[in-house]
Amino acid sequence: MREAVRWGAILALLLFLLAAAGYRAQLEHRRLLTLQAEHAALLARVRALEAQLAAREDPKRVLEAAREAGFVPMAEGRWAR
């Protein structure tokens, strides 16, 4: 009888540890999914910012912005004299 109780307690402890390990694995999996979603969102934001930077550095866009601000390119300024 004593051995059956001892083995029962050991098995119950092992099942409890197995359940605790499974629960922790589920929590870590959820956290990993959250971090992966954040990473994907940040990558999308980086791509959008890089595209915006490339559009701002476009020479035609810079020339248009300069003309809107009242600047005249040097080549046109020389001919205007």
pLDDT in tens, 13-47: 999 999 999 999 999 999 999 999 999 999 999 99
Q: In angstroms, rounded to a whole number, what is the distance separating the alpha carbons of residues 29 and 21? A: 12
Dump pLDDT digits (tens) for 50-79: 999 998 888 888 888 888 888 877 777 655
Q: What is the per-residue pLDDT for 79? A: 58
What are the sequence ranges of the domains in the chain? 2-80
Q: What is the per-residue pLDDT for 51? A: 94
In whole angstroms, how far apart are CA 62 and each of 17, 59, 73? 65, 5, 11
Asked if residues 61 and 55 have their Cβ atoms less than 8 Å apart, the reply is yes
Q: Is the pLDDT of residue 80 over 60?
A: no
Q: Is the dihedral of CA 22, 17, 7, 9 positive or negative?
A: negative
Q: Is the pLDDT of residue 9 over 60?
A: yes
Nearest to 17 by CA among 9, 27, 6, 28: 9
Q: Is the pLDDT of residue 6 over 80?
A: yes
* pTM attached to this predicted model: 0.60
